[in-house]
Amino acid sequence: MDKIKIACIGDSITELSGYPEIAQQILGINYIIGNFGASGTTVLFNSEYPYMYQEAFVEAKKFQPNIAVVMLGTNDANRVFEDFQSDFVNDYLTLLSSIQAFDSNPKVLVAIPPHIFGELLLSGKVFDKKIIPSIEKVADQFGLPIIDVYSAMSKPEFFFDGVHPNGEGTRIIANAICNAISRH
């Protein structure tokens, strides 16, 4: 039996938290999980680090996943990008279309990232009011399943800095992702 390849696509929450490695342990030997997180990346093309133009995107494509779990949007809640928020939906549609066009034709699961607790550079209010509805709109337009990491990570004690998960938070993310993969 061929192993199912899962690409975890995202920002620093994916790259640095360790949730893909925990998901690998949970799902076991019939899966190969690749971590294609890239810290600081955004959905927005009009930013310094759009995910689609990073090496992690190229590597995810080479990986030829059967399933792609996309968890982006946290860095798009940066106050610097307020003038470009209206581009989010179109940029996310383009990104997801590009992932769906990989030669492996992966099933795409869209994850709503965890809460942002704070109002410094990244704004929890912008995230809640603009980014999350935009993610939901795109998933709905494409008919893609949503993994609600946001609701699962509803307490500040799951984070060490208000954005990045601690050990307990990382396990919650991994479990939410694994449950969604099992359902789909």
Q: What is the pLDDT of residue 85?
A: 80
Q: What is the pLDDT of residue 124?
A: 93
In sequence order, the 6+-apart residues with CB closer than 8 A to the CB of 44 are 50, 76, 81, 84, 87, 88, 91
Q: What is the pLDDT of residue 54?
A: 98
Q: What is the pLDDT of residue 43?
A: 98
Q: What is the pLDDT of residue 79?
A: 86
How many domains are there within the chain? 1
Closest CA to 112 of 92, 87, 91, 82: 92
User: Could you give the C-alpha distances from 77 to 16, 84, 108, 137, 164, in angstroms and in order?
Assistant: 19, 10, 23, 16, 14
Q: What is the pLDDT of residue 152?
A: 96
Q: What is the pLDDT of residue 169?
A: 97
Q: What is the pLDDT of residue 7?
A: 98
Q: What is the pLDDT of residue 81?
A: 87
Residues 154, 116: Cα–Cα separation, whole Å: 10
Residues 152, 165: Cα–Cα separation, whole Å: 12
CATH, residue 171: 3.40.50.1110
Which domain does 146 fall in, by range? 4-183
| 3-state secondary structure at position 168 | helix
Q: Report the side by side order of strands in the sheet with 107-112.
A: 31-37, 4-10, 67-71, 107-112, 146-148
Q: What is the pLDDT of residue 120?
A: 76
Q: Is the pTM of this model over 0.75?
A: yes
What is the DSSP pairing of strand 67-71 with strand 146-148? Answer: unpaired
Residues 144, 2: Cα–Cα separation, whole Å: 24
- Phi and psi for 149 in degrees, rounded to 5? -65, -35
Q: What is the pLDDT of residue 90?
A: 97
pLDDT beneath 70: ranges in the chain? 1
Q: What is the pLDDT of residue 119?
A: 77
